[in-house]
Structure 1
């Protein structure tokens, strides 16, 4: 097995570390040489990829790739990996499986209702519309190549270094209150494990990779603060809060996302909800 990860950022690195620890050859892209050195330090073979230029070493690595993971988001001009390498990827001689990291944002707003992978996709934001278009483009490529494509729709990602404990420590945690608002979340370790699970079995299809407990965002802040034994940040009414347009746009969608399909396939989550995950990180001291 040779793995190639386009976009070895937070989620891509978690998967790369997991597979490199098992002795697999893992290639990963980043945009700068400084970040390439960081990838090498965790056991990945780094490649600098700016979304356009394709170095000979990158092209050569793709020829040996059996498992391809895409963790680079599309932009206004489309999907950079497809644009630069789509024709080449469609004819890779050893390719067995493709994993595409997407977002539950493609579903849009469902007024707090429970939804699964069969729910209508009605994205609200431009970035979610671009994600849905990229999903379809990757499905077209996979169909043309005759390879299974797993689309992993991820909810709010957290893990070591990126979590409510860190925000509380930095003083950046906000307790925004919007009645009825809930979000799902997913620990980055479970993203890595889901990629491993689906890739090892060459399973294709759309899967929600999300936790069991959609909850109001302030509940997460309150639970983390109780573990840290620190004061809560003040409650802020969402309607009058000063937050970025992007942050405000997240609150324009409310849904409860089911992970039953992935569980039915045989996957077991290591972090089934934010309470067990935060408790574990706090107890182990690995939240930084």
Structure 2
């Protein structure tokens, strides 16, 4: 029987469970507190265990020992990866484990002045959070090599989907049309992340690095304008990037300008995107929201 264990039942991982959970005989996941675990269990209908990132109890160690597939969706903290810190030996020794998926970010590449990049492009992360991500990617790949387990690192572009999208931001009055000449981003709908994970489980030898991004890197202001068009309203006024009131993290995103190729995702993993550009994805968000 296939048994899935998900570390971190957040937005993307929960959507994957909703789409793919029926393909497993048993699904378990973690949340940071017992209260959050109970909430996730009620929402998803799966066994949910508390994991605070510091220590793992007998129930979680038992879930690791029984797992055939593990998905890690917990970001690193200041000292590394919480899952590896608490459970690396247990995961390496899990007798039936066939696949480990790790959700990372295209932010590990850094900036490339708008040039196209792929998984063979040397990474040069600039933000500290992305340097930590790169270190954790290597740690998971190394664990897989030592333990003889298939590991796939999914580098995700900007995530959007139901409840987290430009249409919702416009309706709530939080959308801003910030313009930085030449700036583009890739995006990925949360359901296409789920599809990539399903495809990865089916082809575990592909990788280990896989970019999960849409077909069309686009300026962020275009996405806001398109969402406004769908809503039949005027888009918010353009704001020059230099004058925009952005947090340090928000400003750092605009410092990493690149076009991310999804050729491996499409050709080697055989993953067909439900939403190949932001247009299809935003239309779907309008309907679902």
* TM-score of Structure 1 vs Structure 2, range by shorter chain: over 0.9
Q: Deviations over 1:223-264 (max 9, x none)?
A: 001001123112111001111110000000100000001111
* Matches of 2:173 and 2:112, distance apart in 1: 32
The normalised TM-score by structure 1 is 0.96
Structure 2 gaps of 5+ residues are none
Q: Deviations over 1:259-286 (max 9, x none)?
A: 001111211111111001112332xx21
Q: Does 1:192 align with 2:194?
A: yes
Aligned positions of 1:1-288 closer than 5 A: 1-22=2-23, 24-41=25-42, 42-204=44-206, 205-265=208-268, 266-282=270-286, 285-287=287-289
* Matches of 2:77 and 2:32, distance apart in 1: 15
Partner of 1:62, secondary structure, is helix
* Matches of 1:163 and 1:280, distance apart in 2: 10
Size of the alignment, in residue pairs? 285
In the superposition, relative to structure 1, how do residues 230 and 21 fare at CA in structure 2: closer, same or farther (>3 Å)? farther
The normalised TM-score by structure 2 is 0.96
CA-CA distance at 1:23 after TM superposition: 5.3
* Matches of 1:34 and 1:273, distance apart in 2: 37
Contact 1:168–1:225 (Cα < 8 Å) also in 2: yes
* Matches of 2:40 and 2:198, distance apart in 1: 19
CA-CA distance at 1:201 after TM superposition: 3.0
Q: Deviations over 1:62-107 (max 9, x none)?
A: 1110001111111111111111111111111110011011100011
Partner of 1:150, secondary structure, is strand
In the superposition, relative to structure 1, how do residues 23 and 76 fare at CA in structure 2: closer, same or farther (>3 Å)? closer
The answer to which of 84-93 and 194-203 deviates more is 194-203
Contact 2:33–2:50 (Cα < 8 Å) also in 1: yes
Partner of 2:210, secondary structure, is strand
* Matches of 1:112 and 1:148, distance apart in 2: 32
Structure 1 gaps of 5+ residues are none
Q: Deviations over 1:15-66 (max 9, x none)?
A: 1112224454111111123321232121221011000121211111111100
* Matches of 1:164 and 1:33, distance apart in 2: 33
Contact 2:72–2:102 (Cα < 8 Å) also in 1: yes
* Matches of 1:142 and 1:259, distance apart in 2: 24
Name the Cα RMSD after superposition.
1.1
